[in-house]
Chain A
Amino acid sequence: MNADVRTMKTPAEQALSAAFAATRDTLPGKGAVAALRADAFATFETRGLPHRRVEEWKYTDLRALMRDLYPLAAPPDAAAKARAKDAGKLLAGIDCRRLVFADGAFVPEQSDLTPEQGLSIASLAEALAKGDAATAAQLGKTFPTDDVAVALNAALMGDGAVIRIAAGAEIKRPIHLVFAAGADKPSSSFIRSLIVVEKGAKATIIEDHESGAAQVNAALELVVGDEAQVDYFKLTQARALHVASLLATIGAKAQFRSFAFTRDSSVVRNQNFIRFTGEHAHGGIRGVSLLRGKEHVDTTLLIEHAAVHCESREQFRAVLDDESHSVFQGKIVVAPHAQKTDAKMMTRALLLSDEAEADNKPELEIFADDVVCGHGATAGALDPGLKFYLMSRGITDKEAEALLIQAFIGETVEEIAHEGIRAALMDAAVAWLGARK
């Protein structure tokens, strides 16, 4: 029953160890960053890849799912960059500041680097190589965790975005981080980004992964300063193992809204570690996953209310067809002093097939006595009554289903403030439905 017994290392674990040994001297960053890597790697060495006996990974047995490690991606060549160019089409119609990463490495020539007041953009590899003190100081500090996926990311992180938005700045165009697969053979990349939104600043950030057949372990450290407003999107389309971690802190009176949209992905784990550190902050954490075939999508949240009077809303929907498997694990923790917390979590799974599996685990851990916390979870099929109503009005079987599914996810998608992104995601969902057999 215990997790402390380590048997033999799996091939993937051996490959990860070998990869670290081979690259630790060439990975960017010295001093504190090198120490961070070594510490993180030690965590992985003692714990190994998480498996089903590890409570947080109960439904996504990484040790079984990660058979091997693809070779670490080489810096993208011209052909790889060319392939990356077409990625991120989902938001093509929206005026964004596009920053492109191919196989995890920043491609400045495809990125929009026009200067803007209050906005600074850099590549992580470059910042670390230069020994940028501010970056080194923040890295790994936003939300310390001993999660093994985050540790692996810290040990092997290569490149990513380092973005700083100065106090009071209002960034008009959404910042679109496009993480594309460039290499034409299987590769793996460890991407780490750091975004600091200072006091009172406003920004929309889109983390868009089209990682194709590449293994990706991505982590984003996001600091939302006091009174700042951040809209964050995580779009995922991945045909190989994709593990992404959001490590965020939300300051006082800040507004944070996130939306995760996952479709056409083989194995995805999106884990969010979010801490409310200042009073009167609001967080809306939402997402929609569309699954078919044998796809596996895991959304895991750890929401920590560490300050009084904060409000959070978590709302997730999954639509499952064929033999797909969705996982939702949401944990809300209310610290003893975090009185007047108002947290509500809702997760719903719509099963379109008898072979699909939806596992929901909405969890509450409450240590304060004057709070309002609730969670709800449902799983079920489409309401035959509603379908019958539509069909009795001359709508075909498939259309009726599509309409109902659209309504099911629409309730969550509608919460997106940005009109263009909202429409683009809804279109993508409709396209997904259209492809349903």
Chain B
Amino acid sequence: MPAVQETVEQVRLIDVDQYKYGFVTDIESEKAPKGLSEDTIRFISAKKSEPEWMLAWRLEAYKRWLTMREPTWARVSYPKIDYQDLYYYSAPKRNALASLDEVDPEILRTYEKLGIPLKEQEILAGVRKQGEPSKLDDDEMTVGEARGRVAVDAVFDSVSVATTFKEELKKAGVIFMPMSEAVREHPDLVKKYLGSVVPTSDNFFATLNSAVFSDGSFVYVPPGVRCPMELSTYFRINEANTGQFERTLIIADKGAYVSYLEGCTAPMRDENQLHAAVVELVALDDAEIKYSTVQNWYPGDANGKGGIFNFVTKRGDCRGARSKISWTQVETGSAITWKYPSCILRGDNSRGEFYSIAISNGHQQVDSGTKMIHLGKNTVSRIISKGIAAGKSNNTYRGLVSAHRKATGARNFTNCDSLLIGNKCGAHTVPYIEAKNSSATFEHEATTSKISEDMLFYCQSRGMSAEEATALVVNGFVKDVLQQLPMEFAVEAQKLISISLEGSVG
């Protein structure tokens, strides 16, 4: 079945030439010299007043990186990246972090334009989304009421420019601060967990990140604490020729809960910019981490010129028994996406979830999916992935589910559907299913015929056509995925809700 008209129009709304966040903030910035060398790393480390051990860690990673080669197995193609033709560090010059009032007003305006106000009183007053009226917002609840409060860490190029609600979080015992501050203030925690999920030698891009990472968020939720508000980081690349290499580390101690959101945008530029982030999540016994992303980097123009290369390593470690990590992602931006948020289900009875909607347009290339590695007993994982390819894009789901010898009673359910709009794009599914334990039960399906006959019959018996009934049922299902997103991000995701996946193929 071809896609229904409604879907085609919805996807058109977020086509590459409709990119709304492509403006540039004119601001003076300070950069590291172009290129990558030990000196660049020393420069970054010095800028951040890092302790010696951190610099040593970075240099070690850099040495290793020099011996590694770029991976080629993903279904993406791009011109060779010249790693010496990049700025690895760029920070706004006026960057006094003592209080929000001192942040460069230009930066505040940028975030306002992006719909991310940084002033706490504004957030409390519900003054959000000023710069971006959207007809899709119309039927929503009044913005301020609907959303709870969100603590925001705003990362502008290589540095964090503001972090909100720090004090209030501190009262609850939650540590939420830029990574560079955490390195100085909580070295023990950072030393203990940094690189424990994604080791410095993990892969080419992760190793590069380990050497040159700039800012990102550090979150520690102490035992038994339910984080009182949503935490979020908003990443903005502004400067030209600059790569962004943020590093995020989230630790939920025993019985803790935290929900974390990530958003990102970048200006329209003709050249490709590199974004190679590493995100590490650690969930100890009974802890739960919910990580949501709305990825909206600049995707390049209609001819495929420019756009962000999004080469990201995200991994969560369910280290404790009964822990849970859930990834939700809505991927619409980036020229190239290479991203596999994964769960290592180490603790017995732990649980991993992955919900993804990836939409590609123009010349975008998406190679994304997840890895669910079952190590502990009775571990459960669930993968729901929806890919929509339009224009001349290629959209690949690549996912690994594996159960190791000792993972008795492991269970996985995977469902991935993809939909093509037009015949110049491609949709691909590459699941890897590795079972090494007989009591592991793995089910992978990628069909449209899996819609319950009963539901269809019920709808049809009430006078709907088969197509309407299918659309209704499938839409209900997509909504299910989107509902995994916290309310705070629902607005951006709202645009996608009405996309019907009718006519989708495996």
Contacts and interface: CB of A to CB of B under 8 A. Distances in A.
B70 A1 contact: yes
A1 B432 contact: no
A375 B437 contact: no
A63 B262 CA distance: 44
Given A336-B423, A381-B438, A362 B444 contact: yes
Contacts of B432: 359-361
A365 interface: yes
Given A374-B448, A375-B446, A359 B434 contact: yes
B423 A374 contact: no
Contacts of A372: 1, 448, 505
B433 A352 contact: no
Interface string B66-88: 00111111000000000000000
B3 interface: yes
Interface of B is mostly: loop
B426 A2 contact: no
B324 interface: no
Contacts of B405: 354-355
Interface in A113-159: none
Contacts of B448: 372, 374
A132 B438 CA distance: 53
A381 B441 CA distance: 7
Interface stretch (B25-33, B150-158, B302-310, B414-422): B414-422
Contact of A357 (B71, B420, B428, B434): B434
Contacts of B438: 351-354, 356, 380-381
B280 to A, nearest CB: 21
A364 interface: yes
Contacts of B1: 370, 372
A363 B73 CA distance: 14
Interface of A is mostly: strand
A376 B425 CA distance: 23
Give the contact-size bracket for chain A: 35 or more
A23 interface: no
B435 A374 contact: no
B424 interface: yes
Contacts of A376: 443-447
Nearest to B408: A354
A366 interface: yes
Interface string B475-493: 0000000000000000000
A132 B238 CA distance: 69
Contacts of B444: 360, 362, 375-378
Contacts of B191: none
A302 to B, nearest CB: 13
Interface string B376-395: 00000000000000000000
A369 B430 contact: no
Nearest to A357: B436
A180 to B, nearest CB: 35
Contacts of B422: 369
A358 B435 contact: yes
A266 B420 CA distance: 42
B427 interface: yes
Interface of B: 1-3, 68-73, 203-204, 405, 408, 418, 420-449, 503, 505-506
Given A361-B432, A362-B444, A364-B506, 9 more contacts: A357-B435, A358-B433, A359-B433, A360-B432, A364-B427, A369-B421, A376-B445, A377-B443, A379-B433
